Amino acid sequence: MTEWSIAEAARVLLAAEDAGTSRGPLTAEWPGLDVRTAYAVQDEALRLRLSRGEKLIGVKLGLTSKAKQERMGVDRPVLAWLTDAMVLPSADPLPPLIHPRAEPEIVFVLGSRLCGPGVTAATAMEAVSRVYGGLEIIDSRYSDFRFSAADTIADNASSSVFRVGPVGIAPGIDLSLEACLLEVDGAVVDSATGAAVLGNPGEALALAANSMADRGLALEAGWIVLTGGMTDAVPVSPGARVAAHFTNLGSVTVSG
């Protein structure tokens, strides 16, 4: 029987990611894994990633849409770390993954540090230098994407890779109205506007800053922030081509 600890959980989940294997939820074996402990697991896994040469480049929010929370059975948004190893270079196909799913996101690049508590969507947007469209590929280390909030937080919110689109604009447009069509192999499979992301992606950014402040942390200048899937995540089969077409933020494609 595994003697669970923060260090052991981080090691096991990172090893599963590296090996491309999935497992049952940690909470089934470690009932003491609560949300606070899960963020400590995530932080320890980040420490391991940095110690092998990865660079911290930002954060991602997950489960910022009610529809996705209901589908995944998790009742809160989650935060996780982004490193440079998660950037999918343009034109590269997906690396081997366990069960990849793609979701379109509105992406911010911060021009200045953003530190909670008390950050509102309006003050959050003042820290943004550029807004992009992106595609995040999520890949849970739990079989069948079955997990509790604490499980997925420990698993860095199913992070694997993401691609930011080629069009970056200064903040100013109403992002709640920014629309996205999600296509798989040329057929539209879903659509949404930025309103799906907590009413406005600026709200997600404020939530990230305020949640980080609860942990004594801030969002740093230059960081990338993925604000959460606008639509449900679609499975990416080998050879499939997923495209996200945004109204003002251009198009992003990923091939499986």
Q: Which residue in 98, 229, 245, 249 binds Mg ion (CB under 5 A)?
A: 229
The nearest distance, CB 242 to Mg ion, in angstroms, is 13
Nearest CB to ligand 0L1, comparing residues 1 and 132 = 132
Q: Which long-range contacts (CB under 8 A, 24 or more apart) does 119-126 make?
A: 119/205, 119/206, 119/209, 119/210, 119/213, 120/206, 121/200, 121/202, 121/203, 121/205, 121/206, 122/202, 123/206, 124/202, 124/205, 124/206, 124/209, 125/171, 125/202, 125/205
| Residues touching Mg ion, count (CB under 5 A) | 3
Q: Residue 140 binds which entry of ligand 0L1, Mg ion, none, with Cβ cut-offs from 5 to 8 Å by kind?
A: ligand 0L1
Residues 44-63 that bind Mg ion (CB under 5 A): 62
Sign of CA dihedral 113, 52, 106, 229: negative
Assess 139 for contact with Mg ion (CB under 5 A): no
Quote the tokens at residue 184: 């798989």
For residue 52, the minimal CB distance to Mg ion (Å) is 23
- Rounded Cα gap, residues 189 and 193, in angstroms: 14
CB under 5 to 8 A by kind: which of Mg ion, ligand 0L1, none does 231 bind? none
Candidates 9-17, 201-209, 226-234, 248-256; binding stretch for Mg ion (CB under 5 A): 226-234
According to the binding rule CB under 5 A, does residue 155 interact with Mg ion? no
Distances (CA, A) of 112 to 69, 106, 167, 173, 175: 30, 18, 20, 19, 20
CB 120, CB 89: distance < 8 Å: no
Tokens describing residue 112: 């200045």
In the complex with ligand 0L1, the residue whose CB is nearer, 152 or 200, is 152
For the bound state, the minimum distance from the C-beta of residue 100 to Mg ion, rounded and expressed in Å, comes to 12
CB closer to ligand 0L1 out of 70 and 126: 70
Q: Are 230 and 192 in contact (CB under 8 A)?
A: yes
Compute the least distance from the CB of residue 105 to Mg ion, in Å. Answer: 6
* Contacting residues toward ligand 0L1, per CB under 6 A: 60, 62-63, 72, 78, 136, 138, 140, 145, 152, 157-158, 228-229
For residue 10, the SS3 value is: helix
Quick check: 194 binds Mg ion (CB under 5 A)? Answer: no
- Return the H-helix or E-strand segment holding 15: helix 6-19
Residue 136 binds Mg ion, judged by CB under 5 A: yes
Hey, what are 28's tokens? 């089934």
Choose the contact partner of 152 out of ligand 0L1, Mg ion, none; CB within 5 to 8 A by kind. Answer: ligand 0L1
Binding site for Mg ion (CB under 5 A): 62, 136, 229
